[in-house]
Amino acid sequence: MKKVLIKLIRIYQKIPGPWHSSCRYIPTCSEYAIEAIDIYGVFKGGIMAIKRILRCNPWGGSGYDPVIKEDKNEKIC
């Protein structure tokens, strides 16, 4: 399922349209979605991607916003 979803996003990236050049974040929302789904899976990565897309609006933020990679070895006291 993960590979299928990533493939669909890659197809979306190749479709010409006015919305592709207006992403406010680096990496773009579609690249963020691919990375989040690849790292966290379809469910958690998909939710992260949806939240990112909702933040990408004229009143939202902008700039560098990478996928946060959890360090599973890090312990919280």
Higher pLDDT among residues 37 and 18, named by residue: 37
The residue-averaged pLDDT of 12-19 equals 81
Is the pTM higher than 0.75?
yes
Three-class DSSP category at 64: strand
Q: Rounded CA gap, 34 and 8, in Å?
A: 10
How does pLDDT run across 21-58, given as a tens digit for each residue? 677 899 999 999 999 999 999 999 999 999 999 988 88
Q: What pLDDT was estimated at residue 60?
A: 80
Residue 36 neighbours by CB under 8 Å, 6+ apart: 44, 45, 46, 48, 49, 52, 67
